Structure 1
């Protein structure tokens, strides 16, 4: 028996796990199941796996289901015996991954606000974008040496976050004023695992 990944739509958190499945060689061992992750009407089948009703969620044969993308990607890395979370740089990797996840969180909340509220609250939307902009500025000013170093889970998370901004918020033009990050993304987003997981819809 292999793994079963519950996923939904173009979620960046699902994409992060999908990229990790490609990078670890575990995709062939994983069944992919589409679930409904509507924040106002979650899928009962998904709640049975993850009480929060959120995706991604991973069912495994050797223990309880796993959820939260950072938990799943670390499990996949251990299972595959790859080095996406190298012990020598573990705190930097985890911090940079958390920074990328924060960008994704804010970007997804902006999508939800526009989709589920008849009249989105403009100051709240701009507050979310400020979080994203601050995170991008930190990547540009503090993290480029790491991003240009050996491949790890943090780079996957950053690549997925930037790809999601291109997908859902292209009008925000995140590359402006961030030439180093833009140049890195131009190369990283061509990576086979990134190309194989480009969001649709």
Structure 2
């Protein structure tokens, strides 16, 4: 049985876990892993020692959240998620939403550096502005992302980003400027695949 190594808090590791639930995959076990412990199972499969990492029985692995998600979609989901990306606009939406997640993680890293006394006001402000600009852009220009009747990879990325903002940065107020996006988020976030993988 293959093993998905993940962290409960990581938005990157959450993405393939959402697909495990969405596709009802039962022959992959999800196991919590701390990449900073440099466990043999992780290092053998991924020399970068980063999670998420999908480890097979022969100790080989595939890693990077998008690569794992593409594998799960192709192997278990009939390519229903990534095959929907039929034009450059949709591919750009995916890049934007991945960048939104990157900005939340960057801001979290700055938050952690504050404990060491080396937090950068410049990067903190830059990440915060990127998050607020992007959520406002979605509200005004890209609500089409939310309008599919079936779950899309864009929606999965967006819910993952918004949940992580709420989890790590409850005082970062995107909601007051994005009522349509907030209403959609509240309507979809309790789907089982999201509820069972929420960061903690």
Q: TM-score, normalised by structure 2?
A: 0.87
1:123-154: CA deviations, max 9, x gaps?
21011111212221222122212321132111
Runs of 4+ that moved beyond 4 A: 61-64, 90-93
- Quick one: structure 1 residues 87 and 61, their matched pair in 2 at CA, closer, same or farther if it must change by over 3 Å? farther
Q: Secondary structure at the match of 1:170?
A: coil
Matched, 1:110 2:136: no
Distance 1:93 1:43 in 2: 37
Q: Secondary structure at the match of 2:128?
A: helix
Partner residue, 2:31? 33
Matched, 1:72 2:68: yes
Partner residue, 2:54? 58
Q: Give the RMSD, CA atoms, in angstroms.
A: 2.1
Q: Secondary structure at the match of 2:167?
A: helix
The CA deviation at 1:112 is 1.8
Where structure 2 has 5 or more consecutive residues not aligned to the other structure, the ranges are none
CA contact (8 A) 1:101 1:157 kept: yes
How many correspondences in the alignment? 195
Distance 1:148 1:125 in 2: 32
Where structure 1 has 5 or more consecutive residues not aligned to the other structure, the ranges are none
Partner residue, 1:133? 132
The CA deviation at 1:92 is 4.3
Q: Secondary structure at the match of 1:171?
A: coil
CA contact (8 A) 2:44 2:60 kept: no
- Quick one: structure 1 residues 91 and 52, their matched pair in 2 at CA, closer, same or farther if it must change by over 3 Å? farther
- Quick one: structure 1 residues 145 and 62, their matched pair in 2 at CA, closer, same or farther if it must change by over 3 Å? farther
The CA deviation at 1:63 is 9.5
Matched, 1:147 2:121: no
Distance 1:155 1:129 in 2: 21
1:154-185: CA deviations, max 9, x gaps?
11111111000010011002212111111110
- Map 1:74-93 onto structure 2 (within 5 A): 74-80=70-76, 81-87=78-84, 89=86, 91-93=88-90
Distance 1:112 1:88 in 2: 31
Q: TM-score, normalised by structure 1?
A: 0.87
The CA deviation at 1:64 is 4.3
